[in-house]
Chains A and B, each alone.
Chain A
């Protein structure tokens, strides 16, 4: 790792001030992507601002039609929360399938979405469940938040404070995990919510995307059979040693069907 100044704020306002006054500061959340990247000297920071001591960024609350998860809440906390499980079991399932138990004990929702990894699970949850990303200065609709591969709408010195998810009528997440890392080769969140049908796909493309053709078909008839013949184009999808673009395109339909089946079974 290149050298940095370590900062440990105890409040959000202190963290914002530290970020603003740094030359090239980075926020440290769970650190499970940032620290490995810094070890390889692929990332460096003048100041590393550790959000671990900012208690106002932690916690889960349910009110009305929304579940709000603090940015520094770990995947293990989301997976184990009876509030989350009761309101959106698909979200608890998704969080419980990220990485491994130790990764889930450290990794956070805020860190995950700020990184916007194309294979991360949470982007599918945010877009599929019509979530809103709350920051220290504004609220951003999930679809506007993820702007590309490792790119988000976050401005300089902006810190994610929480994510609010709409509670759907029913929802389910199914993924085809990379057998080593458990990152999604393809993951699909299906939700039937007040905004209509949502099919959100992670892992397949440079960033999370919706499949409008499947959403329209499901609005007509909410069954896996309605989307069985809908295939998406492999153009522009990711291709690597784990799966070709064509294979990922095929998996989108397979995972979407499974997600719809699972959601319908619990509806």
Chain B
């Protein structure tokens, strides 16, 4: 079955006809060519595919594109201001919060949702929030440091 969907992605209106089975992450990567959102596990555990739907972080491998019909979607491509990195992205670069970088888009989208509900998270709160984001390189320490630095930069911006 084909369904007609439309949604706002990073501020732009998008409409398409897709197979009802299409996952949101596949719609973003294959149909929209927004390949910053990654597929790590495809089983809703690793968090590489985290994006925002109507302002909340979700795993886009476990939501149908059709479920996001009419929604406001933000992906990693939508957070920078042109060539100027978002303070959270800058904090990851500054604090060596990534090595291979595969998990980073999901980490940053997850972190930005945390800052929405808690502008000044403690180290423990950051670690608990990252329950759903796996990194196999860094050991998390610098990711936590990056998120706290990014939160500080956002508070001061």
CB of A59 within 8 Å of the partner chain: no
A169 at the interface (CB under 8 A from B): no
B66 within 8 A of A: yes
Q: How far is the CB of A46 from chain B (nearest CB, A)?
A: 10
CB <8 Å contact, B64 and A102: no
> Any chain B CB within 8 A of the CB of A6?
yes
With A39-B42, A101-B57, A102-B132 already in contact, the answer to whether A31 and B21 are too (CB < 8 A) is no
Q: Interface residues of B: mostly helix, strand, loop or mixed?
A: mixed
Given contacts A1-B21, A101-B113, contact A8 B131 (CB under 8 A): no
Chain A residue at smallest Cβ distance from B42: A39
Q: Does B43 contact A (CB under 8 A)?
A: yes
Nearest CB in chain B: distance from A111 CB, A: 12
Q: Does A128 contact B (CB under 8 A)?
A: no
Bound: A102/B113 CA distance, A: 10
The B-contacting residues of A in range 1-47, CB under 8 angstroms, are 1, 3-6, 8, 28, 31-32, 35-36, 39
Query: Given A3-B20, A6-B3, A35-B64, do A102 and B45 touch, yes or no (CB 8 Å)?
Result: no
Q: A8-B69, A101-B57, A101-B114 are in contact. Are A106 and B129 (CB under 8 A)?
A: no
- The smallest C-beta distance from B63 to any residue of chain A, in angstroms, reads 6
Q: Which residues of B contact A171 (CB under 8 A)?
A: none
Q: Which residues of B contact A102 (CB under 8 A)?
A: 44, 47, 50, 57-59, 110, 132
Asked if A54 is at the interface (CB within 8 A of a chain B CB), the reply is no
Q: Which residues of A contact B113 (CB under 8 A)?
A: 101, 105
Q: Is the CB of A31 within 8 A of B66?
A: no
What separation, in Å, do the CA atoms of A35 and B21 have in the docked complex? 10
Is A262 in the interface zone, CB < 8 Å from B? no
Please state if A3 and B1 are interface contacts (CB–CB under 8 Å). yes
Most chain A Cβ neighbours within 10 Å, of B42, B47, B62, B129: B62
Alpha-carbon separation in the docked complex, A36 to B133 (Å): 18
Contact A182-B67, Cβ < 8 Å, known A4-B21, A102-B47: no
Chain A residues near B57 (CB-CB < 8 A): 101-102, 105
- Does the CB pair B56–A76 fall under 8 Å? yes
Q: Which residues of A contact B47 (CB under 8 A)?
A: 100, 102
Query: Would A105 and B44 count as touching, CB distance under 8 A?
Result: no
**In the complex, residue of chain B having the shortest beta-carbon distance to the beta carbon of A106:** B58
Docked Cα-Cα span, A52 to B53, in Å, equals 13
Min CB distance A78 to B, Å, is 14
In-complex Cβ contact of B62 among A5, A32, A52, A101 (8 A): A32
Contacts of B63 on A, CB cut-off 8 Å? Answer: 31, 35, 106
Bound: A28/B1 CA distance, A = 16
The interface centre, meaning the residue of A1, A36, A100, A103 with most chain B CB atoms within 10 A of its CB, is: A100
Q: Are B67 and A31 in contact (CB under 8 A)?
A: yes
Say yes or no for A50: interface residue by CB 8 A criterion.
Answer: yes
Confirm or deny: A48 has a beta carbon within 8 angstroms of a beta carbon on chain B.
yes
Q: From A180, which residue of chain B is reached at the shortest CB distance?
A: B45
For residues 236 through 257 of chain A, which have their beta carbon under 8 Å from a beta carbon of chain B? none
Which B residues are CB-close (under 8 A) to A182? 131
Cβ-neighbour of A50 out of B23, B67, B117 (below 8 A): B67
- Complex contacts, A103 vs chain B, CB 8 Å: 44, 59, 132
B133 to chain A, nearest CB (A): 8
- Residues of chain B whose beta carbon lies under 8 Å from any beta carbon of chain A: 1, 3, 19-21, 23, 42-45, 47, 50, 56-59, 62-64, 66-67, 69, 110, 113-114, 117, 129, 131-133
Please list 16 pairs of residues, one from A and one from B, whose beta carbons are closer than 8 Å in the complex, sorted by A's number.
A3-B19, A6-B66, A8-B66, A31-B62, A31-B67, A35-B23, A36-B44, A36-B62, A80-B117, A99-B132, A100-B133, A102-B59, A102-B132, A103-B132, A105-B57, A105-B58
